[in-house]
Amino acid sequence: MSSAQASPAQGAEAYDVVVVGAGFAGLYMLHRLRGLGFSARVFEQGGGVGGTWYWNRYPGARCDVESMQYSYSFSEELQQEWDWSERYAPQPEILKYANHVADRFDLRRDIQFNTRVERAVFDERANSWSVTTSDGRIVQAQFVVLATGCLSNARKPDIKGLENFRGAVYHTGNWPHEDVDFTGLRVGLIGTGSSGIQSAPIIAEQAKHLTVFQRTANFSIPARNAALTDEERDAFRKNYPEIRRFAREVARNGIYAEQPDRGALDDAEDVRRAKYKARWDHGGLTFMYVYNNLGLNQAANDTAANYVRGKIAEIVTDPETARLLQPSSHPIGTKRICIDTDYFKTFNRPNVSLVDIKTNPIEEITANAVRVAGRDHEVDALVMATGFDAMTGSVAKIDIHGRGGQTLNQKWAEGPKTYLGLMSAGFPNLFIVTGPGSPSVLSNMIVSIEQHVDWIADSLVHIRGQGLATIEADGDAEERWVAHVNEVAHGTLYPQANSWYMGANIPGKPRIFMPYIGGVGVYRRICDEVAAKGYEGFVME
Ligand code: N01
């Protein structure tokens, strides 16, 4: 059945589909392709499956979406048989789950590990891609699916003198596989996003001293993590059909939770405070669902932000440290909100100190210290929790040439352009899973991954059924979609923050709000309508 197997250079290794990445997206894509009779090969740069959960092994790493929801829904048996141990699964357990899925569905035999895809060139005569891998092979594929992940290109900032530092330097997004022991060491932690906020309390328990270098104070809500009981797991399992339906079709971010029906200013001050308290006590991301206008209206947002600032002041005993930890540079939620266990409390420990590097940026890293405002903070090890070149970074690392030899990096020089986040005009038969222009990082990633993979799989079946060779985003449809993504974003408070959603954490990266903020339910309906109308906005030949 395989058109790709027949078309390219005689004797070349050829597949219908090459999938880049064996994280949650790549694994499910492979499973679907197999089930539909397509030949497929997955290339994965890591030594195992799991993607982000393979690399992010830092102390305290766990998911901020509840484990019963941060899981595949495509197999009823899988979701009934897997036992999550905690409300928020720790990284090792999520990695174990990814490995279980790979084994249960016999996926490994089509995955080549420790292999990067370095280059992909579209051959306009053969209508197929030549894919060059890091082991020097070139394979042919009619289709390429980039399942490269949104937060997979870890970024160590270019800080003066870093190369002179004599101790170990770790990055949370590329953590060693062997145990890292900070016992007796003075540790410097740079970065206070989700990774820094999760790791600080654990490192502080082990290290002799922890110095946290903070550029931007962040909003964080207690996780209230706990072991899951059999009753809780059973309740989820019984209600999975409704929970999954709701997450896909109703919830804006793909998470089943009570949806707000009013704005923050519709309630009196005491009622509002009681609601915030209830959500703070409950813990987790749903703090932001108390009201339906926290991302839209500054005055409404201020009420939630003030509540959290008040909580920080209550928890942190030193008033100056509390003041520094209170975020003031962005509306709450416009940078990814953090979920923590004892983060603010950690600053009450005698072996923890906070250094403000907003007012006085790091001047230099020396052999044994981080120098700020002329003072050397001595450290034996450095932990960079400095984030990722998000959404586009891992795609940009692949040298992708589309029609007329244009590279994707040239096309995206002013910011990523896609139609529905799925394809980019000029690059036929190249799909992106949860790419810029789709809800992606604003959602429960597994819900969005399953939706994209299913949509791509359906489109491939359509192409095969119609005897077609290519699918490509139409340039005008893409322009309209990019404008729509932008317009929706600018109707919210999100672009106010210097966030990685905006590319603001990477010097020189264009400031574009990359994900689609219209909500996963709305987005799914748009994608389904496009398909139902004969893939409107795509050119198929
Ligand atoms: O990265 P980040 P992250 N000098 O980019 C600072 C997901 N995730 O790895 O804000 C000094 O958020 C930077 O400062 P600023 C989640 O979606 C999920 O923590 O740019 N500081 C910031 O404080 C999350 O949002 C989970 O001023 C520098 C920090 O480093 C995303 O991954 C857990 C600097 C980077 O924060 C990324 O999170 C972990 C410099 N030169 C991650 N450069 C869960 O599921 C950067 N910083 C819970």
Residue 1: pLDDT band (50, 70, 90) is: very low
Residue 5 has pLDDT above 50, yes or no: no
- Determine which residue's CA is closest to atom 41 belonging to ligand 1: 157
- At CA 28, angle to CA 65 and CA 154, rounded to 5? 60
Q: Residue 453: which residues within 8 A CB-CB, separation 6 or more?
A: 25, 28, 29, 32, 433
Q: CA dist 159 to 165, 196, 368, 384, Å?
A: 11, 18, 14, 11
Q: What is the mean pLDDT of residues 505-516?
A: 94
Residue 7, pLDDT score:
43
Residue 10 has pLDDT above 60, yes or no: no
Q: Residue 104: which residues within 8 A CB-CB, separation 6 or more?
A: 78
Q: Which atom of ligand 1 has the smallest separation from the CA of 194? A: 19
Q: Which atom of ligand 1 has the smallest separation from the CA of 159? A: 41
Q: What is the mean pLDDT of residues 188-211?
A: 98
Q: Supply the ipTM of this predicted assembly.
A: 0.99
> Which residue(s) pair with 381 in the sheet?
168, 187
CB 189 within 8 Å of CB 200: yes
CB atoms within 10 A of CB 508: 5
* pTM of the complete model: 0.96
Residue 2 has pLDDT above 50, yes or no: no
Q: Which of 65, 151, 334, 506 to mutate to test the pocket of ligand 1 (most atoms within 8 A of CB)?
A: 151
Residue 266, pLDDT score:
98
Q: What is the mean pLDDT of residues 206-213?
A: 98
Q: Residue 393: which residues within 8 A CB-CB, separation 6 or more?
A: 152, 153, 155, 506
Q: Residue 11: which residues within 8 A CB-CB, separation 6 or more?
A: none
Residue 195 beta carbon below 6 angstroms from any ligand 1 atom: yes
Residue 41 has pLDDT above 80, yes or no: yes
Ligand 1 centre from 192 Cα, in Å?
6
Residue 4 has pLDDT above 50, yes or no: no
Q: How far apart are CA 370 and CA 379, in angstroms?
A: 7
> CA Rg, the chain, in Å?
23
Residue 11, pLDDT score:
62
Residue 152 beta carbon below 6 angstroms from any ligand 1 atom: no
Give the single-character DSSP code of 265.
G
Helix H or strand E encompassing 178? none
Q: Extract the tokens encoding 116.
A: 């990067």
- Encode pLDDT of 150-190 as tens digits: 999 999 999 999 999 999 999 999 999 999 999 999 999 99
Q: What is the mean pLDDT of residues 225-232?
A: 97
- Encode pLDDT of 74-113 as tens digits: 999 999 999 999 999 999 999 999 999 999 999 999 999 9
- Encode pLDDT of 55-81 as tens digits: 999 999 999 999 999 999 999 999 999
> Which residue(s) pair with 356 in the sheet?
214
Q: How far apart are CA 500 and CA 119, in angstroms?
A: 26
Q: How far apart are CA 175 and CA 87, in angstroms?
A: 24
Residue 126 Cα to chain centre, angstroms: 35
Q: Which atom of ligand 1 has the smallest separation from the CA of 215? A: 27
Residue 339 beta carbon below 6 angstroms from any ligand 1 atom: yes
Q: Which of 150, 152, 195 to mutate to test the pocket of ligand 1 (most atoms within 8 A of CB)?
A: 195
- Encode pLDDT of 413-447 as tens digits: 999 999 999 999 999 999 999 999 999 999 999 99
Residue 12: pLDDT band (50, 70, 90) is: confident
